[in-house]
Amino acid sequence: MSENGYEHLLSVKDLHTSFFTDNGEVQAVNGVSFNLDAGKVLGIVGESGSGKSVTAYSVMQILADTGKITQGEVLYKGDNITKWGERQMRSFRGKCCSIIFQDPMTSLNPVFTVGNQIMEAIVLHTEKRGQAARDRALEMLQLVGINEPDKRLKQYPYELSGGMRQRVMIAMALACEPDVLIADEPTTALDVTIQAQILELMQDLQKKMGMAIVMVTHDLGVIAEMCDEIIVMYGGRICERGTADEIFYNPKHEYTKGLLRSIPDIKNMKERLIPISGTPINMLNMPKGCAFCPRCDSAMKICLEAVPEEIRINENHLASCWCNVRDARKNGEGAAEK
Amino acid sequence: MSDYILEVDHLKQYFPVRVGMMKTVPLKAVDDVSFRIGHGETLGLVGESGCGKTTVGRSILRLYEPTGGTVKFDGEEITSKNIGPMRRRMQMVFQDPYSSLDPRMTVEDIIGEPLDVHHLYGNRKERREKILHLMELVGLNAEHATRYAHEFSGGQRQRIGIARALAVDPAFIVCDEPVSALDVSIQAQVINMFEDLQAQLGVAYLFVAHDLLVVHHISKRIAVMYLGHIVETADADELMDVPMHPYTQSLLSAVPIPDPNTARERKRIVLEGDVPSPLKMPTGCPFRTRCRYATEQCAAESPRLTDRGNGHEVACWNK
């Protein structure tokens, strides 16, 4: 425990989030835990339906009406915010923790000017009013590199390009200097050259303001460029976590290995890709054991029956795959025993 | 038989855009684009959204009536008169596997429709056999034939779309962002299938996409588009190793590389600003407003594609 009286800035412990649909309960997030410290960039990677976005929404408590956190805690500076009421959460969102969404087209309000929307956050969370709030909004637009910020303040979202709207979103999210920024696929809707601009901007702002970032994406390239630590998710569970180097150069979960094999290798472009067989998981019909088991080439009998425990590969690397348990037993290491 | 399956010369595609009550101005979506594709070859066409890459594909198949230029298929010029029978030999796979399949048709009817249109079977039995063969070719089970498109996942739907394109036994397919709507783990399955089908059937592709890693993997040659113009074409490896046009250079440097060491070492060339509106096209070189090397000549005159050896063509005054 540090001198602040808490261990980590943000700490998610055994988070379970379910959606209650007409077809039954969908366990979108199933026992996710992670810690985030100030100034770090954590990447959450996975394909659609892996639960990566729902994890982010659960932290912010902005789930759809059918969704509910059924188990687990989210600790912000040591306080369990899942116990907080709507009032408290409102002061948490934007001030302590902000989120940027994937689609800058639909996440800005079309009937208010850009300035109006940035100022709303400032007025809500700080003492600044009127001209002071306006100045702060202007300063934020300058900070995110928007040209002619004076003019933009009075413009409506439809008058801006996609890249510019995403900059406005970032300006809005950072206006109250949050400790944590959650970026949910922030560049997926943008072109590569604009994506590069936005990623550069985020890295730059992070250095200036020292916030922690949770980067949710399906793009392994973005993850490799941005993140210190990576969590790989599949079927609502964490398969593997570790530093970027460990995940990319020493993957220890069959899903991560498959994912890395299925993208073109920059060093050997003409080599045939090795796809992951099968189809993405159906969350209504989860397998009993490891979620990845139906698509895994190395599946064993135990994979069908039991969910693998997370075991430590080394100090920077954890993975939940029965193959590691088997290999460890083979090598006669008792440490990997459950 | 011509040397090339497809020869596109000075293709222009303008769309009239209304400004004010009476006036329209042309939006130059594709302006003076020329390229060739050999038999059984893949040409990758890359560029950012709005650069006209999709329009090129559609104009070739006459889904739009081109404003100018010629397209020759196997030596024969395509006109609005002969496009009907021509479409028996050229097909298209669309980006969105959700909206490109009719939700009220079974898989069998979707794949069978081109066969019906071109009368490619003698009796019902032959039709069914052909459909089952096509389904097998793209890795779908025979029992899927009576199902509807909504019962399938994205990757499987894209397979249905590909089977439909292959039904008429085409020599050339325009693939318009065929994998960008799919998850990474499924993308590789579909990309491998495109490669297998090419090896098996000798079909040529125009592979339109924005994902440079995927395009590099599948293409023999790559053409880079910016604001309706091709700015550079070269062999895939050459283009990736020694890009010459400043736009290609910054595009390549902007692609996120899934490899932490490479990502740390390399330097991004971040472009300033946004792509100009195609309604207010800059004079001269279309890229000059964002180019680091722009000179007065770039503003005065538009550079042409010129060969710099090995078929590496670049349209730039300064390179």
Using H for helix, E for strand and C for coil, what is the string for A69-109?
A: EEEEEEEECCEEHHHCCHHHHHHHECCCEEEECCCCCCCCC
Reported as type and span, the H/E element at residue B232 is strand B229-235
Smallest Cβ–Cβ distance between B274 and the set A47, A161, A258 belongs to A161
| Averaged confidence pLDDT in chain B | 91
Q: At what angle do helices B107-117 and B124-137 cross, to 10 degrees?
A: 120
Which residues in chain B are contacts of A260 at CB distance < 8 A?
Answer: 258
Which residues in chain B are contacts of A259 at CB distance < 8 A?
Answer: 184-185
Pick from A160, A191, A239, A265 the residue to mutate for testing the B interface (most B CBs within 10 Å): A191
- Amino acid at residue number B307: D
Strands B306-307 and B221-226: unpaired
Smallest Cβ–Cβ distance between B217 and the set A195, A219, A264 belongs to A264
Our CA-based measurement puts residue A333 at a distance from the nearest CA of chain B, in whole angstroms, of 31
Our CA-based measurement puts residue B283 at a distance from the nearest CA of chain A, in whole angstroms, of 22
Structure tokens at B253: 């440097």
Mean pLDDT, residues B245-261 taken together: 91
- By the CB < 8 Å criterion, does A268 face chain B? no
- Cα dihedral B75, B79, B82, B86, rounded to 10, equals 50
For residue B18, the cross-strand partners are B24
Query: CB neighbours of A132 closer than 8 A, spacing ≥ 6?
Result: none
Tell whether the model's pLDDT for residue B82 goes beyond 80. yes
Taking every pair of Cα atoms in chain B, the longest distance, rounded to a whole number of angstroms, is 68
Instruction: Kindly identify which residue of chain B lies nearest to residue A263, measuring between CA atoms.
Output: B188
Our CA-based measurement puts residue A287 at a distance from the nearest CA of chain B, in whole angstroms, of 18
Cβ–Cβ of B260/A196 closer than 8 Å?
no
DSSP A102-154: S-TTTSS-TTS-HHHHHHHHHHHHSS--HHHHHHHHHHHHHHTT-SSHHHHHT
A337: confidence class by pLDDT, cuts 50, 70, 90: very low
Our CA-based measurement puts residue B270 at a distance from the nearest CA of chain A, in whole angstroms, of 6
In whole angstroms, what is the distance from residue B247 CA to residue B231 CA? 8
In whole angstroms, what is the distance from residue A235 CA to residue A212 CA? 26
A6: confidence class by pLDDT, cuts 50, 70, 90: confident
Smallest Cβ–Cβ distance between A259 and the set B185, B254, B275 belongs to B185
Reported as type and span, the H/E element at residue B2 is none
**What is the model's pLDDT at position A333?**
54
- Amino acid at residue number B105: M
Tell whether the model's pLDDT for residue A183 goes beyond 60. yes
Between B8 and A191, the more confident residue is B8
Cβ–Cβ of B251/A192 closer than 8 Å?
yes
**What is the model's pLDDT at position A3?**
62
Structure tokens at A8: 């980590």
Tell whether the model's pLDDT for residue B282 goes beyond 50. yes
Cβ–Cβ of B260/A258 closer than 8 Å?
no
Pick from A148, A159, A192, A233 the residue to mutate for testing the B interface (most B CBs within 10 Å): A192
Query: CB neighbours of B83 closer than 8 A, spacing ≥ 6?
Result: B61, B62
Name residue, tokens 């090129």: B56
ipTM over 0.95: no
- By the CB < 8 Å criterion, does A291 face chain B? no
* Helix, strand, coil content of chain A in percent (nearest 5): 35, 25, 40
DSSP B17-68: EEETTTEEEEEEEEEEEEEEEETT-EEEEE--TTSSHHHHHHHHTTSS--SE
Pick from A48, A200, A225 the residue to mutate for testing the B interface (most B CBs within 10 Å): A225
DSSP A247-262: HHHS--SHHHHHHHHT
- By the CB < 8 Å criterion, does A223 face chain B? yes
Pick from A273, A276, A283, A285 the residue to mutate for testing the B interface (most B CBs within 10 Å): A273
Direct distance between the N- and C-terminal alpha carbons of chain B, in angstroms, rounded to an integer: 37
Q: Across the A/B interface, how many CB contacts are shorter than 8 Å?
A: 125
- By the CB < 8 Å criterion, does A221 face chain B? yes
- By the CB < 8 Å criterion, does A231 face chain B? no
Closest to A242 measured CA to CA, from A233, A234, A251: A251
Cβ–Cβ of A273/B217 closer than 8 Å?
yes
In whole angstroms, what is the distance from residue B166 CA to residue B114 CA? 9
- Is A127 exposed, middle or buried, given 0-12, 13-18 or 19+ CB atoms closer than 10 A? exposed
Tell whether the model's pLDDT for residue A35 goes beyond 90. yes
- Tens digit of each residue's pLDDT (9 = 90 or more) over B167-210: 999 999 999 999 888 888 888 989 999 999 999 999 999 999 98
Cβ–Cβ of A222/B268 closer than 8 Å?
no
**What is the model's pLDDT at position A279?**
80
Cβ–Cβ of B187/A199 closer than 8 Å?
no
**What is the model's pLDDT at position B42?**
96
The secondary structure of residue A155, as a DSSP letter, is S
In this structure, how many other beta carbons lie within 10 angstroms of the beta carbon of residue A152? 22
- By the CB < 8 Å criterion, does A232 face chain B? no
Pick from A193, A269, A285 the residue to mutate for testing the B interface (most B CBs within 10 Å): A193
In whole angstroms, what is the distance from residue A110 CA to residue A328 CA? 57
In whole angstroms, what is the distance from residue A15 CA to residue A30 CA? 7
In whole angstroms, what is the distance from residue A69 CA to residue A82 CA? 8
Least confident of A26-30, A227-231, B10-14, B262-266: B262-266
Instruction: Kindly identify which residue of chain B lies nearest to residue A164, measuring between CA atoms.
Output: B274
Closest to A231 measured CA to CA, from A28, A2, A56: A56
Mean pLDDT, residues B60-84 taken together: 91
- Amino acid at residue number B302: S
The number of helices, as runs of H, and strands, as runs of E, in chain A is 12, 12
Mean pLDDT, residues A182-188 taken together: 89
In whole angstroms, what is the distance from residue B163 CA to residue B132 CA? 10
A5 Rama class: left (phi>0) / alpha (psi -120 to 50) / beta: left
Which residues in chain B are contacts of A163 at CB distance < 8 A?
Answer: 274
